[in-house]
Every structure is written in structure tokens, then in C-alpha cells.
Amino acid sequence: MVKDIKKNLTNIVVIIGLIGSIGAGFAKFGKMETQLKALSTASAPDVSGIKNNSKDIAVLQKEIELLNLQIKEMKVAASNPLGN
């Protein structure tokens, strides 16, 4: 009688464990499916404006070069003890 109860309890525990692990698997699958759906609807950022900035970048680089030359001239002028 006690062996039958132990056997039945063991079977019940095994069945509950299987149900729990199957449920966890379905929950994980649902989470992965939600993530895949979110990724499939995502779009790439708009980079079309980057191509138009190449001219502006070139102009700014030339301005930086000019400013660097002016700074060098000012340093030279400031280091000359005879100049005003």
C-alpha cells in the first residue's frame, strides 16, 4: 500500500515536472517569436542626408585650415619682441 502511494506520488511529480518544462518551453518560444516580429518590422535609419553633407564637410575643412594658419601667424606676431 505504501509502495503504491510512493509510486503514484513519483509519477505525479514526474508529470508535474514535464508539464512545467513544456510550459517553460512554450513561454520561451513565445518570447522569441515576439522578438522576431519586432525585428522584422524594424527599419534601418535614414542615411540619405549624409551624402549631401560632403560639400559642407569639405568647406569646413578648408575653413579649419585657414583658421590654423591664422593662429600660426598670430603666434609668430606675438612672439616677435619688435613687432606691435
Give this prediction's pTM: 0.41
Residue 80: per-residue pLDDT: 76
Taking phi first (over 0 means left), then psi (-120 to 50 degrees means alpha), and beta for anything else, what does residue 42 get? beta
Look up residue 25 and give its three cell numbers.
518551453
pLDDT digits (tens, 9 = 90+) for 40-78: 887 887 777 676 777 888 899 999 999 999 999 988 888
Domain boundaries, the chain: 2-79
Closest listed residue to residue 77, CA positions, set 8, 69, 51 = 69
pLDDT digits (tens, 9 = 90+) for 10-43: 888 889 999 999 999 999 999 999 998 888 887 8
User: Residue 60 corresponds to which amino acid?
Assistant: L
